[in-house]
Structure 1
């Protein structure tokens, strides 16, 4: 089974943005050293606990700091950007790190409505139009990154358009989603697809079934390709894993219930301010979908999930928090999650 990593570049209450990026660099290097297959970086905006605002920039940072691991976006929220800009960014990354870049594309805004407007005004177009034209934008990005480029017809004349002057190849394009929309589109276009199981947890089997049954082979892909994404906290003992999971569980409760969003708490601060009883069912529902435990139990759960969803790759989102006194520019519990999983599964 391949193991991969999804990183939102979390920002703790004891960290600056620079500290969080330094911690991500260290986490990516540990993933590279221990044999993980991919390292994907998300796109979220205007969130105090997430520094992953710009996947192409972060991909460049991570790819430069690693040796062999594939690095990509999980994902670029395409309606936020002009397709040519995305094509140029990833064509350039592929030229700099050939054979190591993935372009994962999503349709959601990755933020609140006000920030979404600020992102799209004057660039990606108005929201409704950008979302409605998503299939066209996906096709444009793929064509623009290809060595042949595209022909843009304006005023009856066709003008050649290339994302980069002399492309030797292009990164594979994945479609990402948390509903059946992207599953159907990926199947129709013959593209690889990932359902956001780590975030939604509902509808994964249905979305993957739609994708697999509707898949049409393409020049890019002969058969369906997908993997599973899972939130994970792994430690030497169950008690420690439970403690380390608490800050992220509280953050997700706040996000789902309209609570105040803040930098990720340290473990001790989360323990001192527990979730209200009314939200405990939500906490338990999330815990049931996450992998929280010892190396043996976590590895067993990941194997079972891979078998349940018929995948040979699992992308873990390491969500372990930090104790007081942790170096601000590191995330040792997240690194330890990867190390312990690698020992059991790789």
Structure 2
């Protein structure tokens, strides 16, 4: 199947991190039975509502609890670790579960190889062949939040300086291939798929393309730049021993229920959850529909979350499957990576099951 899952291990309000992690393992087992191709775990820190702070640990637990589905990271943030430590962690998992592990790598916490734009170039929202491409969201205010600078110091040793992303990726590949001047054990020779994740056509897309690696583009978090990301990757692509042609996954946020009204009811709380992220407070414990209804919104608050809310696919199985087919057609994606958050675990499981059924239906 050309659908895979991204799981943030969300913590619903009134629940614990342990509840969220048990839900993740249960969801992975059910996803395997539904035929999903991959099950990826995200890396988030300092978020009261997300339990996925150590993807390698969680990947090991999920892989042990499943049999055939590929399990991986979406993504390990390489700015917070060394290439050696990452290869050893994933090599250890592969040693027990060979041929099932995806090492997805992101650039968060990295020195940027291209100049940062304080404010996105002014663009209007547009519809491209049926797909909404919203106006860019201005991240400059969030980037200046005092908590972020403090958190960055907590994720690294004092005085540590992160090398350039491209060099770190080359080290990862060399450790896996056994061509580095040091040997990663376990890790060297591991049957691990290396992926690069990116939100724009910048360095992540360039590194993935130039090294002939598969690339995951981010529609669910950065929908305004998804076309730029996949175009940048494909333009930079050079065939490799791994891939003769470009291979792209595109992510999407979805909620599926038996009918559209129910899906929208179950999806309540998403805008409030995104607001917490965009204000720098971090992902909150995911609210109930009643808690979401109690929040009083301002126009400024709505502006913070509009691009994310407008590009979420919410509805009946047929509606969401059709929306995802549009996303796949417009981006040229070889595979889609879907994520779903609802307050009740049962509703999230049911959403993925309904989507799998609809996607596989002729």
Q: TM-score when scaled to structure 2?
A: 0.84
Shift of 1:264: 1.6
Q: Distance in 1 between matches of 2:148 and 2:40?
A: 22
Q: Distance in 2 between matches of 1:183 and 1:4?
A: 20
- The residue aligned with 1:327 is none
Q: How has the CA–CA distance of structure 1 residues 274 and 96 changed in structure 2, closer, same or farther, with 3 Å as cutoff?
A: farther
Q: Distance in 2 between matches of 1:6 and 1:166?
A: 24
Query: Is the contact made by 1:2 and 1:37 (CA closer than 8 Å) also made in structure 2?
Result: yes
- The residue aligned with 1:150 is 180
Shift of 1:137: 1.1
* 2:30 maps to 1:9: no
- The residue aligned with 1:194 is 216
Match runs of 1:207-218 below 5 Å: 207-218=229-240
Query: Mean alpha-carbon deviation: is it higher for 104-113 or for 303-312?
Result: 104-113
- The residue aligned with 2:63 is 63
Q: Deviations over 1:262-285 (max 9, x none)?
A: 322122211222433443345443
Q: Distance in 1 between matches of 2:238 and 2:70?
A: 26
- The residue aligned with 2:358 is 344
Query: Is the contact made by 1:10 and 1:264 (CA closer than 8 Å) also made in structure 2?
Result: yes
Match runs of 1:23-34 below 5 Å: 23-34=23-34
Q: Distance in 2 between matches of 1:260 and 1:26?
A: 25
Report the secondary structure of 1:120's partner residue: coil
- The residue aligned with 1:138 is 169
Match runs of 1:1-346 below 5 Å: 2-109=2-109, 112-121=148-157, 126=160, 129-130=161-162, 132-146=163-177, 148-151=178-181, 161-164=182-185, 167-179=188-200, 180-258=202-280, 262-322=284-344, 331-346=345-360
Shift of 1:42: 0.7
Report the secondary structure of 1:316's partner residue: strand
Q: Deviations over 1:279-318 (max 9, x none)?
A: 3345443232111111110011011111111113111011
Query: Is the contact made by 1:149 and 1:163 (CA closer than 8 Å) also made in structure 2?
Result: no
Report the secondary structure of 1:15's partner residue: coil
Give unpaired runs (5+ residues) of structure 2.
111-146
- The residue aligned with 1:328 is none
Equivalent pairs counted in the alignment come to 323
Query: Is the contact made by 2:249 and 2:333 (CA closer than 8 Å) also made in structure 1?
Result: yes
Q: How has the CA–CA distance of structure 1 residues 280 and 165 changed in structure 2, closer, same or farther, with 3 Å as cutoff?
A: closer
Shift of 1:143: 1.3
Shift of 1:239: 1.7
Query: Is the contact made by 1:248 and 1:321 (CA closer than 8 Å) also made in structure 2?
Result: no
Q: Distance in 2 between matches of 1:298 and 1:98?
A: 34
Q: Distance in 2 between matches of 1:138 and 1:236?
A: 43
Q: How has the CA–CA distance of structure 1 residues 270 and 165 changed in structure 2, closer, same or farther, with 3 Å as cutoff?
A: closer
Shift of 1:248: 2.0
- The residue aligned with 2:119 is none
Q: How has the CA–CA distance of structure 1 residues 133 and 166 changed in structure 2, closer, same or farther, with 3 Å as cutoff?
A: closer
List structure 1 runs of 4+ shifted beyond 6 angstroms: none
Report the secondary structure of 1:60's partner residue: helix
Q: How has the CA–CA distance of structure 1 residues 55 and 88 changed in structure 2, closer, same or farther, with 3 Å as cutoff?
A: same
- The residue aligned with 2:124 is none
Q: How has the CA–CA distance of structure 1 residues 227 and 260 changed in structure 2, closer, same or farther, with 3 Å as cutoff?
A: closer
Shift of 1:89: 0.5
Q: Distance in 2 between matches of 1:117 and 1:42?
A: 21
Shift of 1:243: 1.8
Q: Distance in 1 between matches of 2:26 and 2:54?
A: 18
